[in-house]
DNA sequence: GCGCATACCAGACTTTTGTCTGGTATGCAA
DNA sequence: TTGCATACCAGACAAAAGTCTGGTATGCGC
């Protein structure tokens, strides 16, 4: 009679650890192979790792692409995607700005909307809690409702303001008494998108 | 003489498309295999895809794990993880609050630090651009530097304030003239962590 | 012309990886 | 006891995926 590595492990305990391991690896962008799971837990047989993984799939905690390498994934996509972080946007160049972006930030998003991040310059929106250096997350859309905070291209530079739709014109309101409301002509103003989130990183 | 699929392609053009394809796939959590790149671009030879990938590595636009399947990655790892979002924290119950959290939010973090999100209540930090309903991302730590914005447990409720270390005492400063500075006794105040990020979701 | 670059193709080899068949040990409940 | 669950092991096979050698076509500068 041979001595087994684990005399007894409570049901589900190892499986839970396997789940957390796989989950972490997936969120780190490289799902593990079956054998990587095996090695991480020092199983002597591939099948042991495979069994745990298959049960996690059966339980609905994971999903998998059959036969594909590193095919285990998280079920309902957490809906995270990385969007480009832009330094500034100048006339016409949203596409160009996305090409030469500073980096990527994770955002939660439903669907495959076109979203980007933009670093805030200037103090015109401090009254709305948007400070210089903050990052606004913008969903691209050409239309917006009165009262929305939008990113608009006025002249040859993008600006962040609160949109007000009047009877015959649009107004871009700052949220800082030191700045004046902008009343652009329709042909010199383009709404690039709506601000859906504001972020401030206090270190790093 | 046989007819080639592509009579001539400008240098770097296809490579750029390959880069964008790979990047998208990586951000979607499943890096492509060499053959998947081949198929996506309808190359007739695996080697063509491989050559583009290897050059992207040589250019520093990608990195790879040699010999591993789906081994191509983006250079500096973004490293995202999900942290619990807490509604409020009351005396002693950080652990308990994490158990019954409202949900999870993605944050960028280096390492496996203990991080949580906390929804802001009250207007005491509006001067620092932290408004009611905002979410602060907090890194758990018992110590903090003077000037840091911290989450502290004073009495039986957690509060967000700017920390000032004086000679003989600590002070918790609001950033709103309508609120008073708190000077707690050392034994009735615990620093739960430091605010490293502020977020505001403007819809949903 | 020549050499050299890029872009691409053909077919093969080797390693990695997913999958499978059959086995042992332990606890639990009928 | 039997049956059945879980947890784990051994060794193999086959598909997937990384790697390699050697080739053709086109453009560019000498």
Question: What pLDDT digit, counting tens, does each position of B53-106 carry?
Answer: 988 888 888 888 888 899 898 886 555 677 888 877 766 566 666 666 777 788
pLDDT computed for residue A155 by the predictor? 78
Is A168 catalytic? The answer is no
- The answer to whether B67 CB is within 7 Å of strand C is yes
Residue holding tokens 């400070």? Answer: A131
d(C-alpha A173, C-alpha A130), whole Å = 13
pLDDT computed for residue A4 by the predictor? 41
Question: What pLDDT digit, counting tens, does each position of B95-118 carry?
Answer: 666 666 777 788 877 655 688 899
Position B50 pLDDT exceeds 60: yes
* Nearest alpha carbon to residue B151 among B159, B140, B143, B162: B159
Put simply, the answer to whether A200 touches B201 (Cβ < 8 Å) is no
Q: Which token pair is B63?
A: 């990195």
d(C-alpha B10, C-alpha A196), whole Å = 39
Put simply, the answer to whether B134 touches A129 (Cβ < 8 Å) is yes
- CB within 7 A of strand C (chain B, 22-61): 43-48, 51-52, 55
pLDDT computed for residue B181 by the predictor? 93
Put simply, the answer to whether A202 touches B80 (Cβ < 8 Å) is no
Of these residues, A68, A69, A112, A124, which one is catalytic?
A124
The residues, ordered by sequence, that sit 6+ positions from B199 with a Cβ below 8 Å of its Cβ are: A197, A198, A199, A200, B105, B117, B134, B135, B136, B137
d(C-alpha A42, C-alpha A44), whole Å = 6
d(C-alpha B82, C-alpha A144), whole Å = 31
pLDDT computed for residue B5 by the predictor? 44
Spell out the domains of chain A, with CATH numbers in brackets: 13-73 (1.10.10.10), 80-199 (2.10.109.10)
Question: What pLDDT digit, counting tens, does each position of A17-38 carry?
Answer: 888 888 888 877 789 999 999 9
pLDDT computed for residue B119 by the predictor? 92
Residues B131, B195 contacting (CB under 8 angstroms): no
pLDDT computed for residue B128 by the predictor? 92
Residues B116, B85 contacting (CB under 8 angstroms): yes
Virtual torsion, Cα A68, A71, A75, A79, nearest 10 deg: -100
Q: How confident is the model at residue A112 (pLDDT cuts 50, 70, 90)?
A: low
Residues B138, B168 contacting (CB under 8 angstroms): no
Question: What pLDDT digit, counting tens, does each position of B131-167 carry?
Answer: 999 999 999 888 889 999 999 988 778 899 999 998 8
What DSSP line would sit under A138-152, residue for residue? EEE-S---TT-EEEE
Per-residue DSSP letter, A179: S
pLDDT computed for residue A3 by the predictor? 36
Nearest nucleotide by C1' from A41 CA? Answer: D8
């Amino acid at each position: 009679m041979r001595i087994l590595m684990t005399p007894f492990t409570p049901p589900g305990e190892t499986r839970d650890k396997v789940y957390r391991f796989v989950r972490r690896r997936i969120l780190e962008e490289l799902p593990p192979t079956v054998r990587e799971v095996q090695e991480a837990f020092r199983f002597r047989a591939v099948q042991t790792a495979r069994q745990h993984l298959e049960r996690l799939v059966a339980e609905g905690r994971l999903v998998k692409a059959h036969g594909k390498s590193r095919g285990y994934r998280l079920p309902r996509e957490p809906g995270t995607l990385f969007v480009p972080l832009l330094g500034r946007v100048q006339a016409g160049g949203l596409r160009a700005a996305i090409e030469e972006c500073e980096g990527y930030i994770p955002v939660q998003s439903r669907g495959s909307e076109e979203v980007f991040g933009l670093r805030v310059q200037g103090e015109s929106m401090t009254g709305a809690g948007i400070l210089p250096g903050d990052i606004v997350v913008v969903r691209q859309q050409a239309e917006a409702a009165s009262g929305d905070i939008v990113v608009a291209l006025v002249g040859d530079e993008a600006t962040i303001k609160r949109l007000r739709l009047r009877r015959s014109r649009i107004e871009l309101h700052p949220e800082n008494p030191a700045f004046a409301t902008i009343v652009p002509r329709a042909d010199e103003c383009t709404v690039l998108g709506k601000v859906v989130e504001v972020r401030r990183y206090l270190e790093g």
